[in-house]
Amino acid sequence: MTKTLKITLAAAAAVLVAATAASAESNGTTTSNGTTITGAGSTFVAPLVSTWTPALGSAFGYSLQYSPVGSGAGIAAVTSRQVDFGASDAPLTPDQATACKSCVQIPWALSATTVAYNVPGAPVHLRLSGPVIAKIFLGQITNWNDPAIAALNRGAKMPSLKITPVYRSDGSGTTYNFTDYLSGVSSDWKNKVGNSTSVNFPAGIGAKGSSGVAGVVSRTSGAVTYVDVAYAIQNHIRFAAVRNNAGKFLYPSLRRIVAAASAFPKVPANNEMHIVNPSKANPLAYPISTYTYVIVPQQTSHAAELRKLIFWALTQGQKSQYTAKLLFAPLPKNVLAASEKTLKTIHP
Amino acid sequence: MERGDAIGLRATGRGRRRLVVNRIAELAAVLAAGAAIAVLAILVWSVLSRGAGALSWDFFTKGPALFGQTGGGVAPALVGSLLLVAIGAAIAVPAGVLTAIFVSEFAARRVGDQVRLWLDVLNGFPSIVIGIFVFALCVEVRLPLVGWGRHQSAFAGGFALAIIMLPLVARATMEILALVPNHLREGSYALGVSKWQTVLRVVLPTSFGGILTGTTLAIARAAGETAPLLFTCALAGQATDWNPTHSVSSIPMLIFQNSEAPDENLHQQAWALAFVLIAFILVSSLTARFLLERSRRRLGTAR
Amino acid sequence: MEARSLSAPAGLRRTRGAGDRAGDALLYGLTALAAAISLLVVAAIVWRVAAGAWPAIRVFHLGFLWHGEWNPVVDKFGARDLIVGTLVTSFGAVLIAGPVSIAIGLFLSELAPPSIRGLIGTLIEMLAAVPSVVVGLWGIYVLAPFDAQHLQPLLGRVFGWIPIFAHGGDQVESTVFSAIVVVAIMIVPITSSICRELFIGVPAELEEGAIGLGATRWEMVKTVIVPSVRGGIVAAVILGLGRALGEAIAVTQVIGNFIPLKLTIFAPGDTLASRIANQYQGAPSNLAVASLIYLALILLAITFITNFLAQRVVKRFERRSARA
């Protein structure tokens, strides 16, 4: 028996040594005596947070640990104080705000949701309108060669291919943004489905996370989904040119996202903004744009660090070296002012 | 023969048809076994061929790359899984061995049967329900040691894994304790040695191999469990973390998260990690089986 | 060698004193506590899950079981389609895995040459070692496309006139059928290894007697082996069923996460465990969270019932064979 014992102990020691080696190497990028700030939530803003992380490390020595588990889970995590901050593309509902016990939501990034599709033979930026998109996701338009789609895309030969809508099966801020838009352009959608981070989609299949829906669309011919523009571009998935209220078919670009944001200059007291479906006075606006929020308890032990971190994100973090490639537009001045004002209310 | 009449065996003249039926049945059995092995082979081959490209020294030692970049590795997940399984084993092995000792050395037959029954029931619980239980117990409610500050943590995740491991360890230990020859115990008592000394110095050392087997099998099972970790240890960052009061990354969670990642780099890492996990589990299971055979043989010759 | 270790072990005191009695009591206490805690965990799990589900039980009562709408926007939840999905997926998997496992058990106990019996048995048991998330990963990228491109068209052509095999739409990768196959693959190893043990346990004289009377091997299996271990086979199958019911991760990766269920299995669906795995972390309201825990309670109840049935079946077959 001692022989077995010896072998077991030797194996355990070997594993321990290997693991220590692994941890030593992988910790090399962050400073060893910095503060660890934890966050969780939106997969939408995860690419941006990812590019911010090394900069925050070298600027302040912070080790930022962010879990992209979805906006819904992020709100739950910060509500139970499991993380220092939550990130969500969906603003807090009144019930969530109560449960979170004096949390504030601060818009800290601005981007857009694309309608991404995999249709061999379709144009690079298929033209779609709000009502048509709503009908697709309601299961009322079922084939890509439907006359309603053809009417918007004269000159394009659409294949006869079944449409498979793909939606987020987890609690998602992108779902909130998308259903916000659809509720505005289709009363049918508003009555039948509604607007939330988690809704009862009447047709299609579900996948978990932005990467999940992007993955399914990449693999499935005829699939269409809604996903943030950074993921669509990164994974070479085509996305639609959506018709805005001025009649123009636009796909997301920095200018068009900024145009959508400037269509809604007023910032309410709780910072909750809906910038979908701007009026026809904004011909350049992309209609499915959204702010994304960082959700922080007003009283937190990491108040000083969070204030520094979020202020950096609101100012330095908006610079094009971090944001342009991912198609995050810089925050407009009025929103920046509101965010900074809210930030000041955070205290230890 | 009485039994033969009851079953109705009779030699008839339709020999040819019966032989054909027999052949078909044999073929079906061979096909079934062949299909199972084929599936295993295809699975291992798929995992290996898709993930082999990502296996490298960096893969095992570095943390994940930034969004859109290539390279990086899964070191945090490896360390996290090690931590979780270690915590799980530290809880489950003593509890399981002690329970097995109770059933085998102390308890009356009926009590032992009850314990065995409820351990089987526990073994049959879906692991996702166990995850919800530990979440409600440790993460929602402030419990000392296992989850403080209402955090998801490696302690909470390890505790969930321990619940899954407990029936396996207990059952394997019970089996091996039953195999320990009684004359060893009787001889010890005859010499005037107390019960607790007999258990600790005679019975347990003899069954060490079997206990190790049970532990190895339990570890192999726990290493691959995803559902219990979903709610107890899922919020993990990108750096390697040894702190058990934090939520840590883990192998099955990382595979689950990256399984549908359209990013080719992350996707390949998921396959490579899957291969590492299978390899670990297979090696552990085979080792456990080998140890068990050896224990059985030694105990058999000691009779 | 064992005798030698007995006669001169280090540290074994040979006289019983008060310390020894205390040690005995301590060991008894510790081990009894451990055993009690093991049982307590079972009770605690049931209680905590019921407590967590209580807010939803209070709102929906038992109607939750037969209402099908799952709508977080208006806080209206019902488990019917998820229960049906769970049962369809699990029973479907058992329908495939049961006969296959029995066949494999027979192969390993009767047909395989003795030299490779151990090897093949080990290989098949290794399939059990593959964790759920890896089977799911493989299911998404290898099995589901194979199902979609080859199996489903084939089955559709042969059985398509039966409603449950009807064409379910062009999207055929993430379907209930894929989930059934994935779960079947996962439960075959357990069930087949139990079957193998059972078949090996049948006394050789019975088998030889049948062969001696002129039975072919298949007839011998049909008339001697299977009847004598019928209870065990059923128990093994029900054990597999229990495992199938609780499968969350592999199922959620390939099933499509969609309700309401269509009649055909070649369409997306969802199960209790899969829905919990997907939505629990980010549930938007307290009632949503409680409803998901209610789902867990239902799953627990189904598992209990399955286990209980298995015990009863085993007992009944044992009684019958004891009488014979």
What is the predicted ipTM? 0.86
pLDDT, residue B10, reads 55
The mean pLDDT value for A239-243 works out to 95
The mean pLDDT value for A317-339 works out to 92
- On whether any CB of chain A is under 8 Å from the CB of C74, the answer is yes
Question: What pTM does this model have?
Answer: 0.88
Asked whether the predicted pLDDT for residue B255 surpasses 60, the reply is yes
pLDDT, residue B267, reads 85
The tokens of B120 are what?
């089987």
B181 to chain A, minimum CA–CA distance in Å? 17
pLDDT, residue A69, reads 87
Least confident interval from A50-59, B130-139, C33-42: B130-139
Asked whether the predicted pLDDT for residue C281 surpasses 80, the reply is yes
Asked whether the predicted pLDDT for residue A31 surpasses 50, the reply is no
Residues of A in contact with C71 (CB under 8 A): 194, 199-200
In whole angstroms, give the CA distance from residue C10 to residue C159. Answer: 73
- On whether any CB of chain B is under 8 Å from the CB of A232, the answer is no
Helix (H, G, I), strand (E, B) or coil at A127: strand
Pair type for strands A63-67 and A36-41: parallel
The mean pLDDT value for B177-206 works out to 86
CB contact under 8 A, A25 and B140: no
pLDDT, residue A6, reads 66
Out of A4, A50, A65, name the one closest to residue B212 (CB).
A4
The mean pLDDT value for C179-191 works out to 92
Out of B76, B257, B262, name the one closest to residue A235 (CB).
B262
In whole angstroms, give the CA distance from residue A22 to residue A24. Answer: 5
Residues of B in contact with C116 (CB under 8 A): none
Least confident interval from A119-123, B262-266, C152-156, C282-286: B262-266
In whole angstroms, give the CA distance from residue C183 to residue C250. Answer: 8
DSSP string, A205-256: EEESHHHHHHHHHHHSTTEEEEEEHHHHHHTT-EE-EEE-TTS-EE---HHH
Residues of C in contact with B128 (CB under 8 A): 246, 248, 273, 276-277, 296, 299
In chain C, residues 108-127 whose CB comes closer than 8 Å to chain B: 108, 110-112, 120, 122-127
Least confident interval from A128-142, C51-65, C136-150, C161-175: C161-175
* Nearest residue of A to residue B266, measured between CA atoms: A211
pLDDT of C295-305, one tens digit each?
A: 999 999 999 88
The tokens of A259 are what?
């145009």
CB contact under 8 A, A199 and C73: yes
The tokens of C46 are what?
């049931």
Out of B4, B128, B137, name the one closest to residue C246 (CB).
B128
- On whether any CB of chain A is under 8 Å from the CB of C267, the answer is no
The tokens of C17 are what?
């004193």
Lay out the sheet containing A127-128: strands in order across: A127-128, A241-243, A249-250
Candidates C26, C45, C294: best to mutate against B (most CBs of B within 10 A) is: C45
Q: Which of A137-146, B5-14, B99-108, C125-134 has the highest mean pLDDT?
A: A137-146
Asked whether the predicted pLDDT for residue B5 surpasses 80, the reply is no
Do A106 and A92 touch, CB atoms closer than 8 A?
Answer: no
> What CA dihedral angle connects B32, B33, B39 and B42, to 10 degrees?
-130
Do C192 and C105 touch, CB atoms closer than 8 A?
Answer: yes
* Nearest residue of A to residue C171, measured between CA atoms: A164
Asked whether the predicted pLDDT for residue B193 surpasses 50, the reply is yes
- On whether any CB of chain A is under 8 Å from the CB of C191, the answer is no
In 3D space, the residue among C19, C27, C42 whose CA is nearest the CA of residue B107 turns out to be C27
Asked whether the predicted pLDDT for residue C277 surpasses 50, the reply is yes
CB contact under 8 A, C282 and A76: yes
A33 to chain B, minimum CA–CA distance in Å? 13
Sole residue written with tokens 């011998």: C220
Residue C308 confidence class, pLDDT cut points 50, 70, 90: confident
Least confident interval from B6-15, B148-157, B206-215, C220-229: B6-15
Out of A69, A196, A205, name the one closest to residue C171 (CB).
A205
pLDDT, residue A249, reads 95
Which is higher by pLDDT, A226 or A220?
A226
Q: Can you list the pairs that B291-299 forms with residues at least 24 positions away whose Cβ atoms lie under 8 Å?
A: B291/A4, B291/B209, B291/B210, B291/B212, B291/B213, B291/B216, B292/B176, B292/B209, B292/B210, B292/B213, B294/B209, B295/B176, B295/B179, B295/B207, B295/B209, B295/B210, B295/B213, B296/B179, B298/B209, B299/B176, B299/B179, B299/B180, B299/B181, B299/B206
Out of C15, C27, C217, name the one closest to residue B199 (CB).
C27
pLDDT of C113-171, one tens digit each?
A: 888 888 888 888 788 888 999 999 999 889 988 888 888 888 888 887 888 787 766 66
Residues of A in contact with B139 (CB under 8 A): 80, 82
Pair type for strands A85-88 and A289-297: antiparallel
Do C183 and C247 touch, CB atoms closer than 8 A?
Answer: yes
Least confident interval from C98-107, C288-297, C312-321: C312-321
Structural domains in chain C plus CATH codes = 62-323 (1.10.3720.10)
Out of C69, C282, C286, name the one closest to residue A171 (CB).
C282
Residues of A in contact with B149 (CB under 8 A): 81
Q: Which of A6-10, B189-193, C93-97 has the highest mean pLDDT?
A: C93-97
* Nearest residue of A to residue C252, measured between CA atoms: A207
Pair type for strands A164-168 and A63-67: unpaired
The mean pLDDT value for A250-269 works out to 93
Chain B residues in contact with chain A using a Cβ-Cβ cutoff of 8 Å:
60-63, 66-68, 73, 75-76, 78-79, 82, 139-140, 149-152, 205-206, 208-209, 212, 234-242, 246-247, 257-258, 260-263, 266-267, 291
Asked whether the predicted pLDDT for residue B9 surpasses 90, the reply is no
Helix (H, G, I), strand (E, B) or coil at A85: strand
Residues of A in contact with B140 (CB under 8 A): 80
A326 to chain B, minimum CA–CA distance in Å? 10
In 3D space, the residue among A42, B99, B203, A76 whose CA is nearest the CA of residue C34 turns out to be B99
- On whether any CB of chain A is under 8 Å from the CB of C257, the answer is yes
Asked whether the predicted pLDDT for residue C19 surpasses 80, the reply is no
Residue A340 confidence class, pLDDT cut points 50, 70, 90: very high
- On whether any CB of chain A is under 8 Å from the CB of C178, the answer is no
Do A340 and A311 touch, CB atoms closer than 8 A?
Answer: yes
Query: CA-CA distances (angstroms) from residue B192 to A126, B189, C13, C20?
Result: 89, 5, 8, 11
pLDDT, residue B247, reads 85
Asked whether the predicted pLDDT for residue C16 surpasses 90, the reply is no
Residues of C in contact with B6 (CB under 8 A): 324
CB contact under 8 A, C52 and B136: yes
pLDDT, residue B94, reads 94
- On whether any CB of chain A is under 8 Å from the CB of C249, the answer is no
In chain C, residues 41-80 whose CB comes closer than 8 Å to chain B: 41-42, 44-45, 48-49, 51-52
The mean pLDDT value for C275-290 works out to 88
pLDDT, residue B56, reads 86
In chain A, residues 37-66 whose CB comes closer than 8 Å to chain B: 38, 40, 46-47, 50-51, 53-54, 63-66
pLDDT, residue C323, reads 55
- On whether any CB of chain B is under 8 Å from the CB of C247, the answer is yes
pLDDT, residue B67, reads 75
A203 to chain B, minimum CA–CA distance in Å? 21
pLDDT, residue A160, reads 92
Touching chains, B (3+ CB pairs < 8 A): A, C
Residues of A in contact with B82 (CB under 8 A): 15, 19
Residue A29 confidence class, pLDDT cut points 50, 70, 90: very low
At position C187, the amino acid (one-letter code) is: I
Beta bridge partners of A251: none
Residues of A in contact with B208 (CB under 8 A): 1, 4-5
Q: What percent of chain C has pLDDT over 70?
A: 91
